[in-house]
Every structure is written in structure tokens, then in C-alpha cells.
Amino acid sequence: METSDSRPRPTRVADLTKRTATFEEVDIRSELYARPQRTPDYAAEHRAMTVLAAEMTVNPRNMLQKLVETAIDLCRADTAGISVLDGDVFRWEAMAGIFAAYRGSTMPRDASPCGVCVDQNATQLMHLPDRHFPALKSEPRFVETMLMPFHDRGNAVGTVWIVANNFERKFDREDERVMCTLAHLASAGWQLWRACELAAESNRHKDEFIAMLAHELRNPLAAIITAHEVVRKIGGDDAYLLRTDLPEADLLQADLLQAVDVVGRQAHHLSRIVDDLMDLSRIGRGELEIHKEMVELRTIVDQAIEATHPQFESLGHRLTVRIPDDPILINGDPARLVQLLSNLLDNAAKYTPKGGEISIAAQGADENVCRSLYAARWFGENSRRRYRPWIDAGTKSGGDPRRSGRGGERGTWQGQSVYRPIAAHTEVFDETAEASGQANEPADSCGRG
């Protein structure tokens, strides 16, 4: 419903005024049955229901807004709204009429008449409710307010309400009947919209998981292929050396054992990925199963390098690792952390120009600085503006890992969101170490950090 320029401009005033009336004094539900009931306008109601049904089919997200506009027309109200309970506050999800500009605002549950309506799960009719709910103090005033609860699977989750901002309009039982119908439609519209939102979120999680899967499958498979080539060479051209006492025989034996270990570790990673893929319910929720244990940072780094070595070798990158001799213990999921670091190194290799230098380092930090498990960044002509993630693995003090960044400052996660649970469930237990990684382009590249 459009408001004309001649109508007073609504203003909200400070809600610090003390209550001047009890709830019983503003509650006028008993007057509903004493007032004359106006004649129903079924033709207008039928047209309105047709519009709302079409809106629910075509655009369920906007259906609630269309519903409050309809409430103004059918009930001849000045203001109408839908308030949804969101934790300890009510959010004005839809608004029309004089106070339409306040759509999206919130009000504490205890300060709103909607709280009474939801708690009692019944129609409310109030006269000058701002006397008991000072947060409603406004100009023009909420003179008479009718509220009706709406439900999600039987639970009251919000209210549909109409307001007369003048002393002439009095709501009656016909308004209550119409509002009851609109509340049922609000319930249906809300549940449909929520279902659409949840479905979209589930699809987004699946898309993110598939994107992650491409990285996670490529790295173990590349390592297995490389190990296979080593075994094939030893079992072919160099097989005769294994049967001799030459020093080369010991080296080949060591290479063979290392290749077998690589295949075993990477097969284990592939098994975890397949387990994730088979658990469709967790994929839809965007969750990863975490198995925490104590592990050294060096072990994580070594296995991540092992998985991504073929990419570094094919692109001619030089990788340096600087980790203190003193162990840095991590309480996290080793396989997930290897996946996470492998993904970062894979992207570092991908976006660093050929022949670039990529380094991983653990550096001392002030004990008051929030420590990171590692952070990686790489710069180049094509990568500088695209991808610069900083990953924080949390601290022993339990800080929010998604908000911590370099230099002890609060930062944000800029990598794939599917990896957030991995960092969120990881703790660094060394009091003086901060692990970080940096990939730098060759000297002749134009990128700079």
C-alpha cells in the first residue's frame, strides 16, 4: 500500500520511557466481541488470496511482503507487518504502510507485544500499547494493534499484525477472521521460503564439496602416479641392482620403501575422501568429520609437500621449508590438515609463475600474538588480485579461528569455505611459534606484496 505525501512522516523516538500502564490496561481483547462486526467483502478477499497464491508460486521470498500489503487493504489498517522471532529479538521481516521504512529492524522479545502473542499463542488486541511497551513509542502512535501468531510445524515463530495510527479506526471480529486467514498463509509462505533457502544452501555446500573434491583427488593421485613410476623403474631397468651388493642397491631399496609408503598414505587420504563422498547428509550440511589427535606440524608439512611435489616439479618451482627444531604440536585432524595445506600449496604452484620460489616457514611470535598454523600467499601478474588466503588454526585460548590473521590482528578467511571446520577444530600448542608460508614470484615479475 502506497502512502501519500500528505500522511505524517513516521519517526521512532527513544525507547527509554518507563512503562506507564500495566499489560491489563492496554489489553482490550474483550472489546472484540462487544463491537459491531462489519460486513465481509468476500470478493476483495478472493482477489487478494488469488494474488497471494500466485506470489507464493512465483516468488516465495516476496510473498510475506505482499501479504502485509494485502492486510492493509483488507483490514483498512495504516501499518501492517510480519515479525519473525530470531533468537532474543523479533525481526520485522515485512512491513507496509506508514512504517514501511522500518522493514528489517529488530526489537527485543521482552520489549515487543509480539512476545506476548507468541507466548500465549493467541490473538492480541491492544490500545496504545506503547504505554506498556515503551520501545513502540513513535509518531504517529500505535493507537490500536491486532496481532496474530503464525507457525512453523506447529510452533509459533512470529506474528502478523496490523496497526491503526489514528483514534477513529477500531478493529473487529471480521478483521480477526481475515487476519487468521492471513496468518495461515504466512505460515505456509514462511515454511516454503525456508525450504527454498535450505535447499539452496544445501546445493551450495555440495558445489563447494565437489570443488574441494577436485583438489583432494588430484593431489593423492598425482603422488601415487609418481610413486608408481619409481616402482616401475626399479622393477624394470634397475631390478638387477637389487640383487647386488653395490651401494646403489641400498638407495634403490630405500626409494622403493618410500614409494610404497607414499602409496599407503595417499590411499588412506583417498579412503577419507570416499567416506566423505558417501555421507550425502553431511555434504548437504557442509560438514566434515573431524578426528582430532596430537600431531607435529613438520609431519603435516612433509605429507602436504609429498602430495603436491609433482606439481612443483612440473612447473620448476623451488620450495623451501623453514621449521624450528623444537616440535610444534597441533591438536587437529592430520588427514584434514594435510588436505588443507595441500590445497594451498597446489594453488601456490598453480598461480606462481614458472620457476618461482615458494616457502613455508614457522617463525617465533610474541606470546600475546594469536598464533596461526600456517598462512600462504603468492603473488604474480595473474594471482595478486585473485587469491590471497590467510588460514588460522586457532589457539590454546580458544579464540575464534576465522577471525584471526597475520600480525596478531583479527582477519578473515578467504580460502574455500569448506575448509573452515578444519581450521576451527585445530589448536596450536607451542607458546612461541607462528607458522606461515609465503610464495614469491621471480625477481623479474611485476607482482609485489
Contact 348, 384 (CB under 8 A): no
Q: Residue 240 corresponds to which cell in the numbers above?
A: 638387477
Predicted confidence at residue 402, as pLDDT, reads: 34
Among candidate residues 308, 326, 434, the one with its CA nearest the CA of residue 372: 434
Q: What is the pTM of this model?
A: 0.54
Distance between CA atoms of residues 416 and 336, nearest Å: 14
User: Rounded to an integer, what distance in angstroms lies between the CA atom of residue 415 and that of residue 392?
Assistant: 11
d(C-alpha 256, C-alpha 262), whole Å? 10
Cell of 87: 533468537
Residues 6+ apart with CB under 8 A from 286: 201, 204, 205, 208, 209, 417, 418
How many CA atoms does the CB half-sphere of 143 hold within 13 Å?
Answer: 11
Q: What separation in angstroms does the CA of 84 have from each of 44, 119, 229, 436?
A: 27, 13, 62, 44
**Helix, strand, coil % in the chain, rounded to nearest 5:** 50, 20, 35
CA distances from 252 to 226, 238, 247, 313, 439 (A): 15, 8, 9, 21, 33
Return the pLDDT at 191. Answer: 87
- How many beta carbons lie within 10 A of that of residue 256, not counting itself? 18
Q: What is the DSSP letter of 352?
A: S
Domains, the chain, in order of start with CATH, read 11-199 (3.30.450.40), 288-449 (3.30.565)
pLDDT digits (tens, 9 = 90+) for 218-236: 777 777 877 777 777 776 6
- What is the grid cell recorded at 8? 505524517
Q: Which residues of 44-68 are buried (b: 16+ CB within 10 A; e: fewer)?
A: ebeebeeebeebbeeebeebbbbbb
DSSP H stretches of helix in 279-385: 280-285, 297-315, 334-351
Beta bridge partners of 312: none
Kindly give the pairing relationship between strand 89-97 and strand 144-152: unpaired
State the DSSP code for 7: S
Question: How would you list the strands of the sheet with 433-440, edge to edge?
Answer: 318-322, 357-364, 433-440
Q: Between vectors from CA 186 to CA 52 and to CA 58, what angle results, nearest 5°?
A: 40
Say if strands 357-364 and 318-322 run parallel, antiparallel, or are unpaired.
parallel
Q: Distance between terminal CA atoms of the chain?
A: 54
Across the chain, which has 449 residues, the per-10-residue mean pLDDT values are 42 61 95 92 94 87 92 96 94 95 92 95 96 93 96 93 96 96 92 84 77 71 78 70 70 78 78 68 61 85 83 85 80 81 81 84 48 38 34 35 33 39 47 39 30
Q: Is the CB of residue 344 less than 8 Å from the CB of residue 376?
A: yes
Which residues, 6+ apart, have CB-to-CB distance to 244 below 8 Å? none
Q: To 5 degrees, how large is the angle CA 145–CA 147–CA 151?
A: 165
